[in-house]
Each structure stands twice: as C-alpha cells, then as structure tokens.
A and B are shown apart, each in its own frame.
Chain A
Amino acid sequence: MDLATTTYIVVGFTFLIYIGIAIAARAGDTREFYVAGGGVHPIANGMATAADWMSAASFISMAGLIGISYNGYGGSVFLMGWTGGYVILAMLLAPYLRKYGKFTVPEFIGDRYYSDTARVVAVICLILCSVTYVIGQMKGIGVAFSRFLETDYETGLYTGMVIVFFYAVLGGMKGITYTQIAQYVVLILAYTIPAIFISLQLTGNPIPQLGLGSTLVGSDTFLLDKLDQVLAETGFKEYTTSVRLSQVNMFAYTASLMIGTAGLPHVIIRFFTVPKVRDARKSAGWALIFIAILYTTAPAVAAMARLNIMQTIEPAPGQNLVIDQRPQWFKTWEQTGLLAIEDKNGDGRLQYVADPERNELVKLDNDILVLANPEIARLPNWIIALVAAGGLAAALSTAAGLLLAISSAISHDLLKSTFYPTISEQMELNASRGAMALAVFGAGYLGLNPPGFAAGTVALAFGLAAASIFPALMMGIFSSRVTREGAVAGMVVGLGVTLFYVFQHKGIMFVADWRFLPGMSPNWFFGIEPNAFGCIGAAINFAVAIGVTAMTREPPERVRNLVQEIRIPAGMTGAASHH
C-alpha cells in the first residue's frame, strides 16, 4: 500500500475516534460545557492537559528548534521553560483557583478585584493571547494536511475546522476533554516510536533519554562528543555548550516561557474540571509527567537527527554526498520547500557548513527533524502516517482548548457577568455554542489570511500571558491588599510594554514596514530578544500594581475574606455552586 493511502487510513481512523467521542460526550448544561461537569479524574485531566498544552509547535517544530536553529544547548530554554511552568501552576495558582470554584479566569480576576473593568481587561488579555496562539494551530493543521495528504493548504484547514467545530461546539469542555485524551495517546505514540527506532539504530539503546548519553554503535565515542566533533569540523559551534545570544537572554527566555505557561488561560481552565483542590495539585503533576515523556524525548530526537543529517551529507571528512546519489527523502522534502540544496562550487557534492557563503544546504527547515525522521531512519509507511496523525492531534487538541477559553470568556464573562446578568441557563449555553462557532470561523479566517505573522504569534502569546494575566492572578491569591486600580494598571502597562518591545522589533502586528524607532539596536534591553521579554513585562506589571495599590483605597472586607477562603481547601462546594 502506498504512503498516501496508508496516511489517509490512519488519519481518517483517528478522526472517526474524535467524532465518536464528540457524539458520546455532548454537553447538556453550562457546567458541562465550561468545566466538563467538574468530575474529571486527575490522571485523565493530566493527560488532557498535556494534549491541550502540547501544540503543533511542540510536536512538529521543537526538536528542530533545539537541534538546528538553537544548535543544541541554546534550545534548553524551551525544555526548561515549557515544563517549569507546571511547578508554578501546581503550587502557586491551580489549587487556589480550583478552590475558588468557578468557570473562567476573567471571572476570578473580576471578583477578586471587585470590578467589571478588571474583568473586561482580563477578557481582552485572554482573547489577545489565545487568538494569537490559535492562529499558529490553524496554520499547523493546514500545513500538516498539505504535507502528508497532498491536499492544498485551504482544504486541510477547512477539514480541520469541521472536525474542531463538531466536537468543540457539541461537547464543550466535556467533549474536548475526552478527545484530548485520545489525541494525547495518538501524539505520544507518534513521537516516541520513531525516536525509539532512531535511538536503537544509533546507540543500540531503545530508550532515547539514555541513548542521548550513550556511545555510538560499534565505537567507544559518545554520541554527543561525536556531534560536537562533526559540528566543529564544519565550522558550527559546539552542540552541548552554544548559548542562545547570551546567558542573560537565556535566563529571561526561560523565565518568560515558565510564567507564560502558568498564565495561559486555556491551561488554567483545565484545572477547573477536577473534583477537588487536592486533585488540582495532583493533576498538574500528572500533566507534567505526560508532557515530560515528549519533552525529554525531544532533545534526543534533536541531537540524533542532527547527527544523522550531518553524517548522511559527510559520512567521513571530505567524503561528501554526491548530489545525484542523495537519498529519496531529500527529494521528497525538497518538493515541499522544507529542504533546498544548491551546488555552489559545482563539484557535484553537497557541503553543509556553518559559513553561509559555502553552505550548500541552503534551506533546512526546523520542522524537518520530526517530519522526515521516520524516512531518514527508513521506518515503514505506517509510522510515517502515524506522525501525520500525531501532528494533527497536537494542533487540534490545542486549538480546541484555546477556542473554549475564548468562547467561555465571551459568553460567560462578557455576556452573563457583565452585560446581560439575567440571561437564563439555556440561553447562556446556546450563547456559548454560538461564541464557539464564531471563534472557530474567526480562527479559520485568520489561518487562511495570516496577516504575515503566524510564525511570530505563538511566542508572543507567552509574552502576553506572562506580562498580563499571570501577575494579576498571583497577586490576587498571595495578597489581599492589591486593589482593583493596581491590578488594572498593572495588566494594562505590562501588556502595553511587552507589545511595544515586540512590535518595535518586528513591526506593528508583525508587518515589517511598521517598525518604529529604527535607531534602536536590536535586543537593546540588556540583549534580551523580543520573545524573551515577557518576564520583564511581568516584573513591570508587579511593580506598577504594587505602586498604584499604595496610593488607592484598600479592597473591601468581602474581598479580603475571599482571599482567606481560597487559601484553605475545605469548605469547597464544587464548581459554580454560587449560581
């Protein structure tokens, strides 16, 4: 059976599972729509959170970012940053927000800061970071379809939209939870199986995490030492030590991703679905275990695939690959544009070196490490098909979580809590379905018409969440003194400063022509790149909020009681008992 047919069968089969789950798990009321009824087992929620969290970027791009763009050690910012946030979530946020026991993130901010303004500002922050994030997922769905199923990008995107629409609009959080569990299983198998084979081939050790620290088959040389050596021979920096820009930048980058993770609303609301405070803590731990299975495999994939590519091109020093004899996977991926070669010196052989003047592998896209891995390792077609299904599962699960966060902010926080408090339960459920449908079409539209910024958006989402939502939540829990004026000013300034720094570098809305202050040198703030700026935005948010609080009247008694109450687990009566 040829690859395309196999891929259609595997991907089609996973889609049937998702639709089957959607029909079985329809939401009957708002509590099921927003928090899946509040009865999700902590391990199940951990698995759903892992799928919710690991996006197309984690699945398709991260290994390549580490192995190629960030040249090894520099890529550690993603590994530590995207996992360390769960420690913050488990200890500083999730248990207390679960104790508070309502449906959405802006709802907590609105109540804790006794202000509809704070609630609306939180909704705006939430929509900004979720929409920028969802565009990246929509693009991922379109790209995965077009690469593996040879459809065009639009067809792929429409198909993805229909699937998401089906289970997200019907099932709300309930449908999303159970599809995310299925999607986790698909994506983790798709990621680890090729990694196990590659590790076996290179090191003889089936566990990639150990293989990365092992010797190469048939020699006494460690894999990482070999990689350092071949990179040195071709003029690249050493894999195990090359930093990303500077130590300060790596510090800020890691910190931004960590607190950004903890502040992303679509991740936080997953913790509203478990029955107890204790389950929220436990669930964060399980989520991190499920995430770590992929995140500790990724650096192994990164190093092994990079070494594979280097050695395919130059098996021994000076013995470069004859271009006419290049393996089939080269030709396959050249057609997609992810890989491009140009015989600059006309010797008929391929040189892959650091020097851009002499480098003949003129295009090596980050995504290729994961996407082409099974072909490079000569694995059977069904594994390649599984990788396609895994990439789609990662993108679909994250998109659905984001869309739910957006629609619940609109139907619950804007409609029910702010503008139309007398709305009935059934009407609110209909409104949330309508908002979800709108969000799906909006995201699809933005996926089809990327205003030139799809690539930059995911990183921006973290910066915005770190600079706006995270500080407001943390101060809301850990201080009973911070006032509504302080919180609102902090969110607005934190968000504003972060947007300013990013747009100053990359142009307003990522339109390169709309750059401003061109006289400033790049990364002018202590050498910190725009993607790493979220933690600075967060620090400014904290400072402004505390400063303004000192000048304003202290919060009313009931808010101080609320803060005392969320700190203690017992006395909880389940999500939405206040309704």
Chain B
Amino acid sequence: MQKLSEAQAKEYWRRNRSLMIRLMAIWFIVSFGFGILGVDLLNTVQVGGYKLGFWFAQQGSIFVFIGLIFYYVVAMARLDREFGVEED
C-alpha cells in the first residue's frame, strides 16, 4: 500500500468534501426545501393521488436519501481507487 504525499492527501480530502457538499445540498433541497419551505408551491402539482409537496415530505425525500448514500458509496470507491487508498 502506497503512502499519500501531503499534497495528494489534501487533494483527496478536497474532492471528497466537494462531493459531500453537492450531495448534502440535494439532501437539504428534497427534505427542507421540497418537504417544508416550498411545500405549498409543490402542492399545487398533483401526481396521482398525491400532492407533490406532501409526497416529498412523507415518501419522496426518503427514496432520495437512499439514492444519495449509494451514489456516495460508488463515487468514493472510485475516488479511493484513483488515489490508491482502497482497502484490498
């Protein structure tokens, strides 16, 4: 297993952090944004029997959360390989 130089370690952390920030932004938008702050606006849209804002608050945000975590898992596995810090 190779050891990262300080610059490489910094770069790895920077890329990880920017990925986190993007994903946490989506996390915030679907729950606090769609589910709470913008719920009235989204409720004007009807999808099947659901008002869209209500759907995000009670179902949709949870599905997005799962997607976010697994996207992070895959993206980080790629990043780990790129920097040679994967654990196999």
List residues of chain A with CB under 8 Å of any chain B CB: 73, 75-76, 79-80, 83-84, 86-87, 90-92, 95, 209, 212-215, 222-225, 240-241, 247, 250-251, 254-255, 276-278, 281-282, 284-285, 288-289, 292, 295-296, 299, 564, 567-572
Contacts and interface: CB of A to CB of B under 8 A. Distances in A.
Contacts of A214: 48-49
Given A281-B69, A292-B63, A84 B27 contact: yes
B49 A251 contact: no
Interface in B49-88: 49-51, 54-55, 57-59, 61-63, 65-66, 68-70, 72-73, 76-77, 80, 84-87
A91 B73 CA distance: 9
Contact of A213 (B36, B48, B76, B85): B48
A212 B23 contact: no
B65 A83 contact: yes
B50 A83 contact: no
Interface in B1-23: 1, 3-4, 9, 12-13, 16, 20, 23
A290 B23 CA distance: 21
Contacts of B66: 285, 288-289, 292
9 contacts: A76-B35, A214-B48, A222-B49, A224-B49, A240-B54, A254-B31, A278-B77, A292-B65, A568-B13
A213 B69 contact: no
Contact of B65 (A86, A247, A276): A86
B45 interface: no
B32 A284 contact: no
Given A73-B54, A568-B4, 11 more contacts: A76-B35, A86-B69, A90-B73, A91-B20, A91-B69, A281-B73, A281-B76, A285-B66, A285-B69, A564-B9, A570-B1
A440 to B, nearest CB: 34
Contacts of A84: 27, 31, 61, 65
Contacts of A571: 1, 3, 85
B59 to A, nearest CB: 5
Contact of B72 (A91, A209, A276): A91
A479 to B, nearest CB: 12
A567 B13 CA distance: 7
A254 B32 contact: yes
A352 B47 CA distance: 31
A79 B54 CA distance: 12
Given A87-B27, A214-B49, A568 B12 contact: yes
A284 B57 contact: no
B62 A295 contact: yes
A72 B9 CA distance: 48
B7 to A, nearest CB: 12
Given A76-B35, A281-B73, A292 B62 contact: yes
A570 B61 contact: no
Contacts of A289: 66
Contacts of B31: 80, 84, 254
Nearest to B87: A276
A86 B23 CA distance: 13
B51 A240 contact: yes
B18 to A, nearest CB: 12
Given A91-B72, A254-B31, A568-B9, A288 B65 contact: yes
Contacts of A296: 58-59, 62-63
B79 to A, nearest CB: 10
A288 B65 CA distance: 8
A115 B41 CA distance: 50
Residue picked from B13, B23, B68, most chain A C-beta under 10 Å: B68
Contact of A569 (B40, B54, B80): B80
Contact of B69 (A80, A87, A240): A87
A442 to B, nearest CB: 35
A278 B65 contact: no
Q: Which 3 A-B pairs have the closest CB atoms?
A: A222-B49, A76-B57, A285-B69
B49 A80 contact: no
Nearest to A302: B58
Nearest to A211: B49
A415 B7 CA distance: 40
A240 B57 CA distance: 10
A571 B3 CA distance: 8
Contact of A570 (B32, B43, B68, B84): B84
A73 B36 CA distance: 10
A91 B72 CA distance: 8
A278 B86 contact: yes
B53 to A, nearest CB: 8
A358 B8 CA distance: 71
B87 A281 contact: no
A76 B59 CA distance: 9
A247 B32 CA distance: 10
Nearest to B40: A241
A214 B50 CA distance: 8
A251 B32 contact: yes
A560 B15 CA distance: 20
Nearest to B4: A568
Contacts of A247: 36-37
B50 A224 contact: yes
Nearest to B79: A569
A278 B9 contact: no
A478 to B, nearest CB: 8
Contacts of B70: 285
Contacts of A277: 87
A282 to B, nearest CB: 5
A91 B24 contact: yes
A433 to B, nearest CB: 32
A198 to B, nearest CB: 16
A282 B77 CA distance: 10
